Every structure is written in C-alpha cells, then in structure tokens.
Amino acid sequence: MPNEDELFQAVQALLEDGPQFPPPAERARLREAAGVTQSGLAGVLKTSLQTVKNWETGKSEPRPPRRGPYLALLEGWAKRYPQPRTNQPPAPAQVEETAPVQTEETAPAPAAAIVAPRPSSTRPASAPRPAARTRPRPTLGDGPFANGPLTVLTVEDGDLVGYGYDGLVVDVPATTLPDLVEWTLTHGRFGAPKLDPWGRDADPLLVLTPPALEYLGLPVQLSDDEQLAGRLDAGHPEIKRIEAAQWQLTRRGLGPWARIYRPAQDNRRMCVQLCIPSWKALDTRSWKNAADLAPADLARVMSLYASRVMTPRGSTAVTGLELMTALHPPTRASAPDDEGRRHSAHNPGSLGTEPMEPPPCEAVNGHPVLADLPRFHIRTPAERLFEEAYDWARPLTDEERRHTHLVGIDVNMAFAAASNGAAVGLATKPVHVHNPNFDPTVPGSWLVDLSHVDLDRVMVGKKWVDLCGDLLPSPFTPDGTRPDGPAWYATPTVAYALELGYQVQPLEGWLRPDSGRYLDAWYKRLRDAYMATMADLGVPDGLAPREFLAAMEGHKQRDPDAAIVLDAIKATVKFGLGKLQQKAPAGYGWKPGQPWPALARPTWRPDIRATVISRARVGMHRKMVALAANTARYPVAVLSDCAVYAANGTSPLDVLPYTEQGKTIPGSFRIGLSPGMVKHEGTQTVTWADRVRADDPLCNLARIIKSGDTAGPDSGE
C-alpha cells in the first residue's frame, strides 16, 4: 500500500502539471494565425527549428523550461484567434472507461518513446531538395527490426535522440555508452534481416554525431596518436565503463567503426556496431560530404544505402567484402544426424571458413610464400600474375588532329559488370599442372606466351578483319604494350586470345576445377542498388540514347542524398574487389615474408580479383575492336573503364553510330544506364590536347578528359 506522503506527492505533481496543451494541429494553426514562422518561434523559445516542428506534428511534447512559456503563448493566441465556428453537430459524449486503462502495474512504461516520421532538417541553399521528390518508406512492420537498420544519434533539448529511416525519431533514455548498448538491444528494434537463409541478421548500427559523443563522455576528435592507432586509448574512462558493465570490444577497439558485444545468449546475438563520422569513419572517397550532414539527412543517406546494399560493416571496402559473405555464408546447417541434431557444415558455392594460401604467381610482394626470394628481387611477368586495369595512351594521328574534339565515354559499373557470370575458384586449393591443355571454363592462372597475337588481323565474330594494330592497346597488359614472352594470365585473358583467332599452349598452370559463379548474387544486389538510386536521380532505365545523355546532365544535383548513396555504391564495388587482395600494412613493424591480418580471411583471394579485372579489361578491348572494325575509329587513350576518341562533335553520339531504330554496332559500346553500357565522361578540344601534351607528352588524356585540369587527377568516376 502507498503511504500518505507518496499520495500527496502524486497529487502535487498533477497540480503542477497545469492545463493541457492544445492538439498539435491547433498549435500550428495558432502560430500561423499570428503570422509567426516556425523559425521565429524557435528563436523566441531558444530551441531548434526541428523541435518546433516536432511539437506541431505530435512527434514530441514540450518540456521544462520551455513548457510553461510556450503554453502561455498558445493560450494568448487562442484568445486572440479563436477557432472559427462550424455547422458540424457536436461530437457524441464519450463513455468513460470503455476499455481497460493500463497502469504501471499492468503495462510498464516503455524505455523510450518511439515517434513517427517527422520532417528532415533544413538543407543549405546550395543543395536544395526537390519538394516533389519523395522516397517510399520501407514496410518493416512490428518485428524486431521495426525501426530500421540504424539510427543517427544527436542531442536535442538536452536529451539523446536518434534519427532513423524516413525521418523516424526515437527518444533514447541513455546517458552512458553501456546504457545505450543495453537499450539498443532491449528496446531499440534496430537491425536488418539476413540476406541469405544460412546467414545472420545485421547488427544494429548506431551513428554517433559530435553532440552525442560529448553527451556520452567521448571525445569529438581522436588525438594524433589515437588516429595513428585507429582507436581510442585503452585507458579512456568510457572503455573502463564498458568493461565494468561486462561488455567487450573487438580487437580493433573503440575506433571509427567499433563493435560492442557480449557472448550470444540462448542463440541470441548480443552485438551493436558504432559508426563515428567525426573520427573519420565515412571516407570522403566513398561518402563525399556525408559526415557533415545534419542528423536527419545523414540517417536518410545511410538508411538508403543499408536498405539497398546492406548495413555498413565498416568502410565501403569492408562492406563490399562482407556483402559477398552475407550472400554466400560459408556454413549451413547439416541434415539431422541419427539423434536428430544438426551441425555446422560447409555451404556449397561459398569460399568456406579457412584461408587459402595462394600459389607463388598469385601472391603479392611480401607474402610468406615468397619469403625465400632474394631481397629487393623484382619479379618478371613470368613469375607473377599481373592483371590490372588499363592505363594506356598514344599520340594522335594526323587524321585525328583534323577533328574538333576528343570525347570520353565511360563504362557504367564496369567491374561490377565484369563480375557477373565470372567463374572463380571456390573453397578447394588450386592444382599445379605442367603443359596443360587450355580450358576456358576452368578458372586459374596460366603461364603462356601470347606475344604471337597480332592485332593487325583478328577474328571478330566469325570473320577475320584487318585493323591498324598500332592504334590499339594490347589486351594482355595494363599498359597496352605487346608481351614479349611467357607471362602469367588469368583464364579470361587467355580465352580472349583464342577468341581473336590465335592458338595457345600454356607451359604451366594453377587451376581451380572446383568453381562457381560466386559473385553473381553480389553483382545483382549492387546492380539493383545502382539502378534504383539512378532512378531517384531522374535517370530511369530504358531511355533512348539521346534521352539518357540528356537525363545524365546534372543528375547528381537533383537529389544530394541519393548522389552520396550512388558514390557509396560505386565505391563498394571498387574497393570491395580491391579488398580481395589487401596488401600488407605499411609500418607497424611488418617485414616482408611475415603474415599480416588480412591473410587470415577466407576472402583474401587475389585470384578472384584478377579474374574480374581480366574480364573488365578484355571486355573493354572487345568493344574497341568491334568499333574499329566497323567504323575505323580507334581510341587515343584508355584509363580503366574510360576510352577517349577523336570526333567532330561533343557528344558520344558523334563517336558511336546509331540507326534510326536505335541500334548500334553489335559487340561494341552502347549508350545507356545498365552496368556495361556507357555514359558521357567528358569532352575537350583537340587544341586542348595539344596544349596538354606539349607540357606532358606521356599524359593519359582519359585521366583528365572530364575536368580538363592537368593539376591533379580527374574528378570523374
């Protein structure tokens, strides 16, 4: 039974609570009737514009010290601007106690108030958001992930709040990092469902803004030593608090991307991930200015990426690699044994759980398998596999100098497109063979002499054609020079020599008969994310070439948030593939011949990266050969997925022929949105090229065709 003092306190609280506020819609009506803007009201009450919006949409209620003054203002306005009379009949009287009333004894108060979507924060005039563009809110229901994959935490009116997908806002009753983690796992309902039946759900992601860091007792910036170490000093009080609360940190500690966890309980994973933008978690190469966005806008950007790709697990490189694993988990549940129990078993089509030692030809410099090589030894093409993207250029011919312009065309998502359909080795170690017969269906590395392939005469389709081979790069080397003897190549490169009409006889091979199209699901996921985001930017699929080129003009200015997501998706492809061959870290006492942490991953697979790059490079060459065979047009420069051609016009349509029916040369470049098709990269004059080459005869014009700026790298994608 409560005592008399407790009852007096409860009654006094009711007396102090005072009159009730008018409904949210009435608050807005009164303010508008008085001719006061939301910004003006926020200034008077010394609060944020977003807080006023929340009061007027019912997302939150005023609290002291602003509650009393705001109520007095509303009461004054109500006397001055009463509700207009209507002819509507009065509402019927309510019957009291028609339903049971929940009390503290029957329904405990929630640990946090979950509020409905509210408008996002204001944006600078330089990056307007079109009012007509809306994004559908995901339908997540009332399940364990009802509030989306992540929340961006900040402080408003002295309290911690979290912004989620589509403007969702959550009041967070936590004052320390351990409390925040506990609340997230108990009441937050953040996370995302697994991408494969044998995978696992994504952990909740908490993005901590500078105000949230200060609120939780964490530094807004890391010190120089902490930045070098990549984590907060182990003696920091908040780390001690985490440990005292029986939470653990992974080996990378409390850094820009941190994981706080406890061992799983009753098969329930207990883990929360942190992202701290002010500690440089969001690399500008991938996320542009995302770290500087307001919390609501940052939540929109990261939630859109999470819904289309996956909840970020670190950098876009890490996330790209984690996406491969999420779509092809290494293990699955076995069939029941005699006692009806299931066990962890290898999942067919995956890379397995064990790291794979590469053959010497596939190992990067410094790898332990090369420890016996003499110091400073430089490996030749006959000793190492070197499949890299193009970086090739040549002088313009006299005929090309008579053209007016140089036009750059760029292959959309070139490396993603090259990963689609790529046969790669899976979990079985490669087999070493001598003098094998070449099989284009078997992935691996082949030592073979391709110097006899003559680009002056090649097979295109089923016909031999004569070309000017000196005006084309070799398809077998990144710098476009003709090979001069045996070298190691990935399967797609050797297969292309056969396609051009030349026989090959490998001398040696490291072959992977256990193969599959491991990257197909990865490609499809990223392709769909790219296509959906381009549609957000006003470039839908299916446009005719001229319409597509017009839609691409200024597309990133139409929706700044979607533009950031687009860059992050592209970076996930590029850096994710690069992570397959992560090299040894500089410094930290590492010496050549010693292992480094990346080698312990099953996804450290330089052979898979080589296969994709090989397919991208020979695919680029195949398109250039088809165009040259039909139009006598040759590239003057190629950089990765960008080729530059001389033209008497400024558009890709002045380079690529199209019929009135919208058809172009089979097997060559096609203008359009899909991965593998091309867009306009940039146009400059031939006079500009002469000026650039006069200062730097070796300049690759494809590197700067977009910006025209010789002072630094091109800003192109």
By the 8 A CB rule, do 698 and 393 touch? yes
The per-residue pLDDT for 269 is: 87
Residue of 484, 489, 491, 496 lying closest to 447 (CA atoms): 489
d(C-alpha 685, C-alpha 30), whole Å: 61
Beta strands of 286-352 (E only): which ranges? Answer: 331-333, 344-346
Digit-coded pLDDT (tens) for 226-239: 998 899 998 899 99
Q: Which residue has the higher pLDDT, 616 or 339?
A: 616
pLDDT, residue 660, reads 82
**Is residue 426 within 8 Å of 352, Cβ to Cβ?**
yes
Strand partners, 271: 261
pLDDT band at 14 (very low <50, low <70, confident <90, very high): very low
Q: Where are the domains of the chain?
A: 12-80, 114-121+140-311, 360-389+422-515
User: Mean pLDDT of all residues in the chain?
Assistant: 87
pTM above 0.85, yes or no: no
Comparing CA positions, the residue from 642, 661, 647, 659 lying closest to residue 701 is 642
Distance CA 576, CA 521 (A): 14
Find the mean pLDDT for residues 314-340: 91
Element (H, E) at 210: helix 210-215
Question: Radius of gyration over alpha carbons of the chain, in Å?
Answer: 31
pLDDT at 107 over 80: no
Residue 334 DSSP one-character state: P
Q: For the domain bounded by 12-80, which CATH number is listed?
A: 1.10.260
Q: Is the pLDDT of residue 695 over 70?
A: yes
Least-confidence region, from 86-100, 460-474, 544-558: 86-100
Backbone φ and ψ of 95, nearest 5°: -90, 125
Structure confidence at residue 9 (pLDDT): 55
DSSP secondary structure code for residue 709 in this structure: -
Three-state secondary structure readout of 582-629: CCCCCCCCCCCCCCCHHHHCCCCCHHHHHHHHHHHHHHHHHHHHHHHH
So what's the pLDDT on residue 460?
94
**pLDDT value at residue 288:** 96
pLDDT digits (tens, 9 = 90+) for 556-614: 999 999 999 999 999 999 999 999 999 998 767 888 899 999 999 999 999 999 999 99
E strand or H helix at 411: strand 405-411
The continuous run of DSSP H or E covering 419 comes out as helix 414-419
- List for the chain the helix, strand, coil content (%; round to 5): 35, 15, 50
Strand 405-411 relative to strand 391-393: parallel, antiparallel, unpaired? unpaired
pLDDT at 63 over 80: no
Residue 659 class from Cβ within 10 Å (0-12 exposed, 13-18 middle, 19+ buried)?
exposed
Cα angle: 652, vertex 656, 659; to 5 degrees: 120
DSSP string, 152-206: EEEEETTEEEEE-GGG-EEEE--SSHHHHHHHIIIII---B--SSTTS-PBPPEE
**Per-residue confidence at 167, pLDDT binned at 50, 70, 90?**
confident
